[in-house]
Amino acid sequence: MALGGTISVPGGARGTRLTGAEITAAVPGLAELGVPVEVRDVQAVPSGDLTFAQVLDVVAIASRAVADGADGVVVTQGTDTLEETAFLIDLVWPHEAPFVLTGAMRQPAMAGADGPANVLAAVRVAAAGESRGAGPLVVLNDEVHAARWVRKTHSTNPAAFASPNTGPLGHVVEGRVRMLLAAPRHEPLSAAFDRERLEAARVALHVVTLDDDGARLEGLEATYQGLIVAGFGVGHVPAALAPRLGALAERMPVVLTSRTGSGSVLRHTYHAPGSEADLRRRGLIDGAFLDPYKARVLLRLLLAAGAGPQDIAEEFALRG
Ligand code: GLU
């Protein structure tokens, strides 16, 4: 399924994006793989324009394809939001069949365009028995990453995708899929979200910064149903911000994550005002290893599913 993104940007004067058929036709060796590929154009947008509802639609199309006998699914999309869409899919994908996301960091007409190699590797992974049951995977630069852990870590480098907490699960070597690790899987959430409820489930993300007085959080509860806090280091905020976050946590789920990019927030190592222990005492939920963006995906889905405070805390304890 083609959704758009850099892999579809033709460059030069051509205004329209490449179709899925054009993207796959330009992949050397794909036809010779012996893997029949059925191509669908689902969206043709920069990935920053994708919505949760559209991604859930992609999951529904993919589920039907699997029910109709597809061995696996490959999605091409822009790389900007791929770490979020992949995790959203990870949370709801109920099948053993591989669901592989890929894209490109360089446009097709650029020297060293990476799209064709990424599509070829993604199809190999989607068709490989080794990938079954591994959950949604992100394949770029001949690396196989778990959707749960992958991050976009560079704005332009073709090696932008990395899993800082775990490393890649596997590699594509000489065309062979070599899975080295298995990521733990959890029960999928139901993908049958009421779309109106999903629209209404707004989750804010606040990145805490030096000398942050939190003024931006004033009146947040009028518009948002949940908040992700990207705190310093192990989950700290300025002491002056702690009461404001505590007051919000009495009205909505507030999840504590780290802005550092890898590692977990702590639970009970520091006790000063604004520390992780203080914030937990004030009712903030422990985001554990979830980065702020992935935590936001999980919280929005839980709110859209009508989960209450207890369920939300339990889900973060399980999936964080
Ligand atoms: N980097 C953008 C993305 O993630 C590509 C922009 C575009 O496709 O126009 O989608």
Output the domain CATH number for residue 285: 3.40.50.40
pLDDT of residue 262: 98
Same domain, 77 and 132: yes
Same domain, 147 and 115: yes
The mean predicted confidence, pLDDT, of the chain is 97
Same domain, 11 and 99: yes
- Whether the Cβ atoms of residue 119 and residue 24 lie closer than 8 Å to each other: yes
pLDDT of residue 204: 98
What would the two tokens of residue 113 be?
């365009």
pLDDT of residue 151: 98
Same domain, 172 and 200: no
pLDDT, tens only, 2-24? 999 999 999 877 789 999 999 99
pLDDT of residue 168: 98
Same domain, 15 and 138: yes
Q: Which contacts qualify for 112-115: CB closer than 8 Å, 24 or more apart?
A: 112/158, 114/140, 114/141, 114/158, 115/6, 115/7, 115/23, 115/26, 115/76
In the chain, how many domains are there? 2
Q: Does pTM top 0.95 for this prediction? A: yes
Ligand 1 closest atom vs CA 45: 8
Q: 51 catalytic, yes or no?
A: no
Same domain, 19 and 108: yes
pLDDT, tens only, 143-176? 999 999 999 999 999 999 999 999 999 999 999 9
pLDDT, tens only, 69-127? 999 999 999 999 999 999 999 999 999 999 999 999 999 999 999 999 999 999 999 99
Ligand 1 geometric centre to CA of 233 (Å): 30
Same domain, 227 and 171: no
Residue nearest to atom 8 of ligand 1 (CA): 5
pLDDT of residue 53: 97
Same domain, 212 and 173: no
Domain boundary pick from 179, 206, 228: 179
pLDDT, average across residues 125-141: 98
Query: Is residue 188 a part of any domain in this protein?
Result: no
Residue burial 11-21, b: 16+ Cβ < 10 Å; e: rest: eeeeeebbebe
Query: Is residue 285 a part of any domain in this protein?
Result: yes
Query: Is residue 277 a part of any domain in this protein?
Result: yes
pLDDT, tens only, 168-184? 999 999 999 999 999 99
- Whether the Cβ atoms of residue 286 and residue 80 lie closer than 8 Å to each other: no
Query: Is residue 247 a part of any domain in this protein?
Result: yes
Domain boundary pick from 123, 151, 179: 179
Q: Can you state the angle between helices 292-304 and 309-319, rounded to 10 degrees?
A: 140
pLDDT, average across residues 232-244: 98
What would the two tokens of residue 232 be?
């310093």
Residue 61's pLDDT band (boundaries 50, 70, 90)? Answer: very high
The residue segments making up the domain with residue 294 are 195-319
pLDDT of residue 67: 98
Q: Which of 6, 81, 85, 257 is an active site residue?
A: 6
What would the two tokens of residue 80 be?
């900007």
Same domain, 105 and 169: yes
Ligand 1 geometric centre to CA of 211 (Å): 34
pLDDT of residue 286: 98
CATH code at position 47: 3.40.50.1170
What would the two tokens of residue 159 be?
């090696």
Query: Is residue 1 a part of any domain in this protein?
Result: no
158 DSSP 8-state letter: T
Residues with CB under 6 A from ligand 1: 4-6, 9, 46-47, 78-80
